[in-house]
Amino acid sequence: MLRVTKLTDYAVLVLSVMASEPGRVLSASDLAERAHLETPTVAKLLKPLAQAGLVESFRGASGGYRLAKDAAQISLKAIVEAMEGPLGMTECSAHVGQCNLEAHCGSRANWRRVNDVVADALSRVTLTQMHTPTPDQRLALRLTTA
């Protein structure tokens, strides 16, 4: 089964919290509370997000984190790569020369095509889209709060 890790899923959730309050600096504990996650987990995922330039960190008494870019400029691909490294459906589709069967394998080019399609799809989805409820979700929220 192909899936992202829990940390990547949590990263999208935390970034969505940040996107809901653009420009606001939030501490790791504030983010954890709003995302319903543990503070150590949030602290763990903020480091690679900062290294990838997706969030900015601020030190001091009123320090914390905020998005480094507008949410519409942050792609799902950027988030996945920040948390998991280069996108690769197979080892050889991400790194040339890693497989001893590479010279004899006829499926490598096809895996590259699949890899490119997945990368393109992830590039087209933004953080803004990820944290905006779909029409079905909005309807369900209206029904449960009515």
The span from the CA of 110 to the CA of 6, in Å, is: 28
pTM for the full predicted model: 0.84
In terms of C-beta density within 10 A (0-12 exposed, 13-18 middle, 19 or more buried), how is residue 88 classed?
middle
How many other C-beta atoms are found inside a 10 Å radius of the C-beta of residue 75? 19
Over the stretch 23-76, which tens digit does the pLDDT of each residue have? Answer: 899 999 999 999 999 999 999 999 999 999 999 999 988 889 999 999 999 999
Q: Would you identify the CATH topology of the domain 6-145?
A: Arc Repressor Mutant, subunit A (1.10.10)
Contact of 92 with 98, CB cutoff 8 Å: yes
Give the burial string for 38-71 (b: 16+ CB within 10 Å, else e): eeebbeebbebbeebebbeeeeeeeebbebbeeb
Contacts by 86-94, CB closer than 8 A, 24 or more apart? 87/115, 87/118, 87/119, 87/122, 88/115, 89/2, 89/114, 89/115, 89/118, 90/115
Over the stretch 73-125, which tens digit does the pLDDT of each residue have? Answer: 999 999 999 999 988 877 776 666 667 777 777 777 788 888 899 999 999 99
**E strand or H helix that includes residue 67:** strand 64-67
C-alpha gyration radius of the chain: 18
